[in-house]
Structure 1
Amino acid sequence: MKNIFKNYKYKKNLIAYSGGLDSTILIYLFIKNKKKIRAIHIDHHQNETSYIFTQHCKKTCKKKNINLIIKNIYIKNIQKYGFESIARKLRYKKIIKCLKKKEIIITGHHENDNIETIILSIKRGSGPLGLSGIKKIKKFKKSKIFRPLIKIKKKYIYKLAKKKNINYINDKSNENIKYDRNFIRKKILPIIKKRWPYFKKNILKTSKLCNEQNILLKYFIKKEIKNIIIDYNKINIFKIKYMNKIILKNILIYWIKKNTKIIISKKIIKNIKKNIIFNKKKIYKKINIKNFEIRKHKKIIYITKKNKNKIKKIYWNKTKIPLILPYNLGFLILDKKKNKKKIKKKKKNKKINIRFYKKGKFNQYNSKKKINIKKIWKKFNIPTWERKNIPIIFNKNKFIKIINKFNINKFNINKKIFYISWKK
């Protein structure tokens, strides 16, 4: 275990501390190697022993002068979702909320955990990504998860605890074979080991090979996707329509994961092909993937967040101050480099207003002509769902301009030229 901190650069560490053997060994190793740590204990409230675990963690951390955070979770609908799955999601949700800036999550996963995970992936029918197993370090939300013990066998962790007389609690729930992991550990692996002593070693070999395949797949997909992508969330439909089915499938998986962090199922892929890519009708269905939508507009497939914008009008009374737009659409700001003279506006003046997805004909500001906003959308080939998120500048009820997100926008209001930027 000497090399687990080789080239270790992280200064802030939050250890997921259960009070059991693996997380207690983590506490010992981090203190021994003089690493800055905090600990977090999640009380699942599943039985009467949860209180004993919490008190043990408190006592240990107090003795070692470690800042300990205690959080509670209460799990419902166990039969519907499965205890292990829902518990893991709730644990990480609590941990993420407690993270400090530049702090990473440390967990006690070891080699045996990795083998169990790979077997569970086989059970679920996973591909190379699932069979790659548990990574030593992984990006997670805005942080990272580091697993220093992932290449260490459980027996060596036991030996270290015995040698150093490290005090920890045995979790009796680890004996309950109703949980899949325990069933694999207690029932399946002993039988396999007896028949094939080299099985565990070969499982890890398979995992390594799958990881290599996954790296190669990513490399070639990244190369291929450069030719078909228009923008990060837009794909040219004609460049994927006649692709090999396997290549198309993997491009869709990669592209959607890159934009949403969601790994899509075979059912969703089939749905995208049928209703988006190969749909010859003029009316196209949208495909919902959690908070995202996949749509088709002319020759392009889009992936966007679900549009919740219901704001009709916002007044910009104080133009000196940036105007924050709703639904995380960013803000409008006067460009200081371009605007040499400040615009003087009365506090109660409700002339300048911002609108979204406005239809119809409007008089133009500083002109006698009327303009049909729909024609502007069509001219710039902007899909209907994107129009709801693009701000339009009005002076009272007179149209000035549709804001262009990528340029400085020039305006003439009250015979004064000024410039506005739309930033996110």
Structure 2
Amino acid sequence: MHNSDLFIAFKSQLEKLTSEGAVFKIALSGGLDSVVLLHLFSRLENRCITAHHIDHGLSDNAHSWTQFCEKLCHSLSVPFVVTKVILDKKNRTSLEALAREKRYVALKEGLTNKCYLVTAHHQDDQLETVLLALKRGAGLTGLQGIVAKQSLSVGYLIRPLLNFSREQLESYALQFKLTWIEDESNADQRFDRNFIRHTITPLLKKRWPAIAKTVARSASHCQSQMQLINEITETDLQTCLSDKQQLKIERLKVLTETRRNNVLRGWFKNAEFNYPSTKQLTAIWADIAFAQTDAMPKIVLAEVIVCRYRGTLHFVDKNSLVAETKKVVWQGEKQLTLCTGELTLTFDVQSEFIKELHHVEICFRNQFSSDLKCQPIGRDKSRSIKKLLHEHHVPPWFRDRVPFVFIDGLLLEAVGLWRCEIPYSTSFYTFII
């Protein structure tokens, strides 16, 4: 492909991936690929682009790379932004993954709905990614490799160079006399991707020159299959979800194991958690969904806890299990923050003298007698707190975080659940945010 044809093909691909009024943020490392990407964008008419460089601080040359990128952007009249990120260099085995994670977090900051984050991944990157997926024993999700476009929480991520080989990009750079930097870590074959790039890929290309193109085609086929699977999974997921985004176990039971596991993965994805492993999926179904009826099973994962209650699977934030250890005396504040900042009570007090007239305490279940009973308004008799919490379908893991308001030693309210009959009236009110 001639370099003028490459530019035409690039523009055509960009039109397929974007909509009118698009704003672009170019991920600029300073390497060959991102330099060519930036140059291609600089040739577009009516462009609205910014280049964003991430300084990982991993190389002694990091400062000079930043200067190079800034100078390049100035020569192309492209606005330039740089962000420094901090990495834990002690964990060497995961340094590559950690750097990638931190990089994307920084790059996604400030995106809007019409903004496209653009990376310079190309056909050879696709080959490396699929080979790494094969090494891990990945399924279709991994074997689809790098996708040309994906939605982010805000905006999109696109890779308009996926159809071009590294050789084509290098030829383009040489024609326009572009310069770029070489990251010395790219030669470190302790990293799997570098080992594939420098040792495996040359052997494959020597035997099969078109291997990068054919693997890219296979990845495209996998992407089509994944799209179909995702459409089926989304339909199944909506059927199994409650209005509170919990999974109904009875509806999961009618699905095949494959479709059920896809629903569980989709549930995690929608909540923006990492996919559980196959072993964890098995545990969620066998040990949580099918635990004894009177059990309160849970599985603790890296990001979240999965629990079962009333025939549904729930995500439980680990922080939500933290309750106050001491009673809190209200001193007339308009707001009280409890449970390490996870819970806020707002008070609407009609009488400014109430704190002088009454002693008000906010307690949690572990701070008063388990035998305590109260009579909610509208009820004909008292019931135990335990039974009332069960009646209001408060999940077991949340019961220790329900604030109970006592006034002069009498239970006034289980905040957000019920208010009690008390022997005198008061203008004290409270509600939870």
SS of aligned partner of 1:167: coil
Closer, same or farther: CA 249–417 of 1 in aligned 2, 3 Å: same
Closer, same or farther: CA 155–198 of 1 in aligned 2, 3 Å: closer
Give the whole-Å Cα distance in 2 for the aligned partners of 1:300 and 1:221: 18
When structure 1 is superposed on structure 2, of 20-29 and 352-361 the one drifting more is: 352-361
SS of aligned partner of 2:163: coil
Partner of 2:228: 216
Identify which of 254, 258, 261 aligns with 1:249.
Answer: 261
Give the whole-Å Cα distance in 1 for the aligned partners of 2:238 and 2:55: 47
Contact 1:260 1:292 in 2 (8 A): no
Q: Counterpart of 2:29 in structure 1: which amino acid?
A: S
Ranges in structure 1 where 5+ consecutive residues have no aligned partner:
336-341
The alpha carbon displacement at 1:364 in A equals: 5.5
The alpha carbon displacement at 1:184 in A equals: 2.1
The alpha carbon displacement at 1:35 in A equals: 3.3
Q: Counterpart of 1:399 in structure 2: which amino acid?
A: L
Partner of 1:27: 38
Q: C-alpha deviations, 1:6-55, integer Å up to 9, x for none?
A: 24456554432211122222332333334334433333444443343233
Partner of 1:77: 90
1:176-191 mapped onto 2 (5 Å cutoff):
176-191=188-203
Give the whole-Å Cα distance in 1 for the aligned partners of 2:395 and 2:106: 39
Contact 2:188 2:194 in 1 (8 A): yes
The alpha carbon displacement at 1:254 in A equals: 2.0
Contact 2:330 2:355 in 1 (8 A): no
Give the whole-Å Cα distance in 2 for the aligned partners of 1:128 and 1:12: 32
Q: C-alpha deviations, 1:346-404, integer Å up to 9, x for none?
A: 48557565544466315569999755211111212322102234444443433233344
TM superposition score normalised by structure 2: 0.79
Are 2:100 and 1:88 equivalent residues in the alignment?
Answer: yes
SS of aligned partner of 2:242: strand
Partner of 1:399: 411
Identify which of 350, 357, 366 aligns with 1:343.
Answer: 350
The alpha carbon displacement at 1:127 in A equals: 1.1
1:374-389 mapped onto 2 (5 Å cutoff):
374-389=386-401
The alpha carbon displacement at 1:250 in A equals: 2.2
Closer, same or farther: CA 48–331 of 1 in aligned 2, 3 Å: closer
SS of aligned partner of 1:105: strand
Give the whole-Å Cα distance in 2 for the aligned partners of 1:285 and 1:57: 53
Partner of 1:134: 146
SS of aligned partner of 2:117: strand
SS of aligned partner of 2:271: helix
Closer, same or farther: CA 124–333 of 1 in aligned 2, 3 Å: same
Partner of 1:196: 208
Give the whole-Å Cα distance in 2 for the aligned partners of 1:173 and 1:422: 52
Closer, same or farther: CA 67–291 of 1 in aligned 2, 3 Å: same
SS of aligned partner of 1:240: helix
Q: Counterpart of 1:66 in structure 2: which amino acid?
A: P
Partner of 2:11: 2
Q: Counterpart of 2:350 in structure 1: which amino acid?
A: I
Q: Counterpart of 1:29 in structure 2: which amino acid?
A: L
What is the aligned residue count? 411
Give the whole-Å Cα distance in 2 for the aligned partners of 1:151 and 1:383: 51
SS of aligned partner of 2:26: strand
Partner of 1:338: none
Give the whole-Å Cα distance in 2 for the aligned partners of 1:328 and 1:13: 37
Partner of 2:5: none
Give the whole-Å Cα distance in 2 for the aligned partners of 1:344 and 1:274: 55
The alpha carbon displacement at 1:293 in A equals: 0.9
1:285-364 mapped onto 2 (5 Å cutoff):
285-306=297-318, 307-311=320-324, 313=327, 326=339, 329=342, 343-346=350-353, 354-357=362-365, 360=370, 361=372
Give the whole-Å Cα distance in 1 for the aligned partners of 2:181 and 2:258: 49
Contact 2:321 2:398 in 1 (8 A): no
Give the whole-Å Cα distance in 1 for the aligned partners of 2:306 and 2:392: 21
SS of aligned partner of 2:81: strand
Are 2:250 and 1:238 equivalent residues in the alignment?
Answer: yes
SS of aligned partner of 1:165: coil
TM superposition score normalised by structure 1: 0.80
Contact 1:14 1:104 in 2 (8 A): yes
Are 2:271 and 1:259 equivalent residues in the alignment?
Answer: yes
Contact 1:40 1:68 in 2 (8 A): yes
Give the whole-Å Cα distance in 1 for the aligned partners of 2:262 and 2:429: 44
Are 2:184 and 1:162 equivalent residues in the alignment?
Answer: no
Q: C-alpha deviations, 1:198-257, integer Å up to 9, x for none?
A: 433332222222222222222222222344333444233333346432233222222233
Contact 1:293 1:303 in 2 (8 A): yes
The alpha carbon displacement at 1:288 in A equals: 0.8
Closer, same or farther: CA 397–90 of 1 in aligned 2, 3 Å: same
Identify which of 217, 233, 237 aligns with 1:225.
Answer: 237
Partner of 2:3: none
SS of aligned partner of 1:230: coil
SS of aligned partner of 1:166: coil
